[in-house]
Amino acid sequence: MIIRGDEPEQIRLLRKLYKPGNYFMQGNEAVAYGALFAGCRFYAGYPITPSSEIAETMARELPKLGGYYLQMEDEIGSIAAMIGASWTGFKVMTATAGPGFSLMQENLGYAVMTETPLVLVDVQRSGPSTGQATKGAQGDFFQARWGTHGDHPIVAVSPTSGQDAFWEIIRAFNIAERLRTPVVFLFDGVLAHTRELVKIPSVDEVEITYRKLPQNEEEAKLPFGDPHGDGVPPMPLFGHGYFTHVTGSTHKENGLRDVYTPEVHDRLVRRIHRKIEKNRHVYEKYEEHFTDDAEILVVSWGVTARPALGAVLKAREEGIKVGLFVPKTVHPFPGERMRELGKRVRAILVPEMNLGQMILEVQRYVNDDVLLKGVNKIGGVPLTVEEILREIRGVA
């Protein structure tokens, strides 16, 4: 696996297997290939529509790269096995959809608390419950943020196309490794099953990051300390004779449980928050179109950002001064930039395939005198350019 110093061999295999060029592929396949380029060599999952092609691609490709595919007995076991493998040094991933994402929440919290890097792909589908199993949606925005219990930070990334998914999953792995944290990848059933052009780059164009490892015995003794002041402790992997102790219960810097001292809990949980807050530069990302002179702003994410861009382009042709803001890292939300943009416009529209989720984040950063309106659609059919354009005209 790449992390253990067999980069030359892995690069040779990637070169030999995946020729750079344009391919016609499903969003799900783009996610899988991106993960392979990012260095993911362990996948544990459980089949669920509309995510299964990710598992199928990984099951086919991983062995070629010397990597491991495991089909576990359920989603709870899948994320558990990933965490176990991550502590042995693997870059790990799973893919699921709403019902499976719900089952993974307890161990997602465990990964936050034990600072275990992993990437969890949630191919959002129409819910609640089994809902419309084959249809896309954007209803898990807050489940990604608050699905697991207790005070916890989370990083979530959401791409807007197959091509974007290829690069964004690599970015998700890099964030997970760099900050020793789980990253949720909010994909959706529409993009997952859309076939479109995806350019596979040469291996040399891909930059990948590795987690920090302890540089000496002292660092290895404090798997949950902060020796570098950036909130990110080096990770003393299993199998190296460090005698690392890992627990989801409140623990001291040395890993040993202490659930009775209030300061220990406070120190640990605040550091885990600070690690994410202080390292915004590692993960913050958004796209802007025509925001310089915009009087109306469309804020959208994931699959809906595409018809949103189409609508903005058409409205501009009609002379409407409208711009588009697309958070690519949706959690933590790019609030500062949202605040700046919010001060310049008189109306904000938030199109999404749900009954209003990201709009609540937007609301936190804009003043009451700005007209804020959701453009919401559920039922499994994506919003169209026309539907969003109509709303833009309505506030123009």
Partner 1 sequence: MPEIYSKYPMVKYLRKEALPTALCPGCGGGTVLNAFANAVDQLKLDPRDLVVVSGIGCSAWIASPYFLADTLHTTHGRAIAFATGVKVGLPDKKVVVISGDGDLASIGGNHLLHAARRNIDITVILVNNFIYGMTGGQVAPTTPFGAKTTTTPYRNIEHPLQISETIAAAGASYVARWTTAHVYQLIESIKKALTVKGFSLVEVISQCPVQFGRRNRMKEPAEMLRWFLKNSVPISKAKKMSPEELEGKFVIGEFVNRQRPEFTEELNKLIDEVQEHFGLKGGDDV
d(CA 158, CA 44): 21
CA–CA dist 349, 359 (Å, integer)? 9
Least spacing, CB of residue 280 vs partner 1, in Å: 30
Query: Under 8 Å CB-to-CB from 390, ≥6 apart: which residues?
Result: none
Q: Is 395 in the site for partner 1 (CB under 8 A)?
A: no
Cα–Cα separations (whole angstroms), residue 124 to 55, 247, 288, 303, 314? 16, 30, 24, 11, 28
Residue 306 phi, psi (nearest 5): -75, -55
In the list 20, 22, 24, 64, the residue contacting partner 1 (rule: CB under 8 A) is: 64
Total binding residues for partner 1 by CB under 8 A?
Answer: 52
Q: How far is the CB of 222 from partner 1 (least distance, A)?
A: 13
| Residue placing its CB nearer to partner 1 in the complex, 24 or 243 | 243
State the minimum distance, in angstroms, from the CB of residue 307 to partner 1: 40
**Coil, strand, or helix at residue 25?**
strand
From candidates 25, 92, 198, 347, binder to partner 1 by CB under 8 A: 92
Q: How many residues comprise the chain? A: 396
Part in contact with partner 1 (CB under 8 A); list of ranges 123-131, 249-257, 311-319, 382-390: 249-257
Smaller CB separation from partner 1, 59 or 372: 59
Closest approach, Cβ 213 to partner 1, in A, equals 15
Told to check if 94 binds partner 1 by CB under 8 A, we report no
Does residue 225 bind partner 1 (CB under 8 A)? no
How many Cβ atoms are within 10 Å of 35's Cβ, its own excluded?
Answer: 31
Instruction: Pick one of 9, 151, 218, 318: the residue that binds partner 1 (CB under 8 A).
Output: 9
CB atoms within 10 A of CB 148: 20
Nearest distance from residue 225's CB to partner 1, in Å?
Answer: 16
Q: Of the ranges 80-88, 153-161, 271-279, 366-374, which one interacts with partner 1 (CB under 8 A)? A: 80-88
Question: Residue 227, Cβ neighbours under 10 Å: how many?
Answer: 16
How many CB atoms are located within 10 Å of the residue 357 CB?
A: 22
Count CA within 13 A, CB hemisphere, residue 270: 6
Q: Which residues in this chain contact partner 1 in the complex, by CB under 8 A?
A: 8-9, 11-13, 15-17, 42, 44, 63-64, 66-68, 70, 72-74, 76-78, 80-90, 92, 106-107, 110, 238-239, 241-249, 254-257
